[in-house]
Amino acid sequence: MSKSDFFKYDFFKNINLSDPFFDSLKEDYKEFEEWFRKKADDKAYYYEDENGIQAFLYLKIEDEALTDITPPLPKNKRIKIGTLKINPHGTRLGERFIKKALDYAVVNDIKEVYVTIFEKHKPLIELLKKYGFEHVAWKTTDNGTESVMLKDLNKFTGDILKDYPLVSIGNTTPYLLSIYPEYHTKLFPDSILHNESGYDLIKDISHTNSIEKVYICGMDGVVDMKPGDPIVIYRTTDIPNRAEYRSVATSICVLKELKTKNDFDSLDSFLKYCSKYSVFSQHELKRFFSKKKLYVLRMTYNLALSKRLIRKKLIEQCGLDRNLRWSIMRLTEQQFERIIKLGGVNESFIINQTRVRR
């Protein structure tokens, strides 16, 4: 990834308020420039290319009642999305910024995230709804009336996108999925292997890191997987004969959809489905489609392990069988829970559902 692929996280005072990007915010909010300058020593996320700033996100932790909205909300700890704007380019920047706000909630163990937004911003409202934000109140100021949209991370609906980043266990079957290093780095830039024990989800950020992912393989074992199943992403070794210490579990995903080659009526339909969220080039995708055996996994990237678990630890402390092939491997609920615990995942984002017969 080039340096330009990454979001920036910097002080307000170092961000160009004169960039035309901010013109619409100045029009919507009379006090915007004054507010921006008062935030000089606070930090915000933004994405900038050769044409200037393209996206901006400011997050704030609050612990108070919201009394200036109708109806008011009781005192609670919340993440406020203080400012959110994305220039529409047909890219995944909007999705990526929502992921960053929810990453922030996970890291800070906060279960409510909210934003105020004018109803004219319909595409952004629809994107927020897609990932579980709901209208809960109205806020009226001299600038007009805004919708207050809130995502409640205590609420589990069974809709994989609306529930993101929550992971359900109990009525699902967990799996381990092996991915080669070169594809892992592209698919999960938040989970690049820096070292085994230290990882900062908030600082390591990239706009290529979308919520939804597409992975393609020819492994027959995936056919038993069902939507909602948790997937432990296992990055294979980058050094031959060093798997014991270099192969490592890095992330938790949730399967959204599984397709086979028969689900696509043409190469074009396959390319259209895969291209937006796949790490594979057009040439690689065409090569995949030419094979008889083809499985496409569409999944959400929910949680990164803060403590990476090497193969040796997965065997000795999580109970995984050394003698099995680890390409796609079914896990027991106990093995999965052990990986969650030793991987440093905040267990409050793992929802235990009553096991039902599948």
Does 345 lie in the same domain as 238?
Answer: yes
Domain count, the chain: 2
Does 204 lie in the same domain as 124?
Answer: no
Give the pLDDT of residue 1.
40
Does 170 lie in the same domain as 146?
Answer: no
CA distances from 297 to 11, 119, 146, 166 (A): 39, 35, 38, 19
List the one residue out of 353, 299, 355, 354 whose CA is nearest residue 328: 299
Give the rounded distance of the alpha carbon of 147 from its chain centre. 24
Residue 57 lies in a domain: yes
Give the pLDDT of residue 281.
85
- Average pLDDT over the chain, rounded to whole? 88
Does 239 lie in the same domain as 256?
Answer: yes
* pTM for the whole structure: 0.88
Helix/strand/coil percent split, the chain, to 5: 30, 35, 35
Residue 52 lies in a domain: yes
Does 224 lie in the same domain as 170?
Answer: yes
Give the pLDDT of residue 3.
40
Residue 9 lies in a domain: yes
Give the pLDDT of residue 209.
64
Angle at the Cα of 170 from the Cα atoms of 169 and 174, rounded to 5 degrees: 50
**Tokens 């698919």 -> residue:** 187
Does 286 lie in the same domain as 269?
Answer: yes
Q: Give the CATH number for residue 340.
A: 2.30.130.30
Give the model confidence (pLDDT) of 342-353 as tens digits: 999 999 999 987
What radius of gyration, in Å, describes the C-alpha atoms of the chain? 21
Does 321 lie in the same domain as 207?
Answer: yes
Residues in CB range of 56: below 8 A, 6 or more apart: 15, 21, 22, 44, 45, 46, 47, 83, 84, 85, 86
User: Strand pairing partners for 11?
Assistant: 43
Does 63 lie in the same domain as 185?
Answer: no
List the one residue out of 253, 266, 172, 166 whose CA is nearest residue 215: 253
- Region of residue 158 (phi > 0: left; psi between -120 and 50: alpha; otherwise: beta): left
Domain end position, chosen among 116, 137, 155: 155
Instruction: Kindly state the tokens that stand for 239.
Output: 């050094």
Residue 135 lies in a domain: yes
Does 69 lie in the same domain as 172?
Answer: no
Residue 357 lies in a domain: no
- Region of residue 259 (phi > 0: left; psi between -120 and 50: alpha; otherwise: beta): beta
Amino acid at 305: L
Amino acid at 357: R
Q: Which helix (H) or strand (E) holds 177?
A: strand 175-179
User: Strand pairing partners for 256?
Assistant: none
Does 249 lie in the same domain as 176?
Answer: yes
Domain end position, chosen among 155, 190, 223: 155
Q: Give the CATH number for residue 150.
A: 3.40.630.30
Residue 76 lies in a domain: yes
Give the pLDDT of residue 139.
97
Which parts of the chain have pLDDT scores under 70? Answer: 1-6, 89-91, 189-209, 354-358
Does 317 lie in the same domain as 190?
Answer: yes
Does 177 lie in the same domain as 148?
Answer: no
Residue 358 lies in a domain: no
Q: Contact 81/120 with Cβ under 8 angstroms?
A: no
**Tokens 């990453």 -> residue:** 103
Three-state helix/strand/coil letters over 27-92: HHCCCHHHHHHHCCCCEEEEEEECCEEEEEEEEEEEEEEECCCECCEEEEEEEEEEEEEECCCCCC
Distance CA 175, CA 221 (A): 10
List the one residue out of 183, 232, 202 whose CA is nearest residue 338: 232
Distance CA 343, CA 234 (A): 12
**Domain limits for position 299:** 162-352
Give the pLDDT of residue 196.
36
Provide the percentage of residues in the chain whose pLDDT is more than 70.
90
Distance CA 342, CA 321 (A): 17
Domain end position, chosen among 131, 155, 179: 155
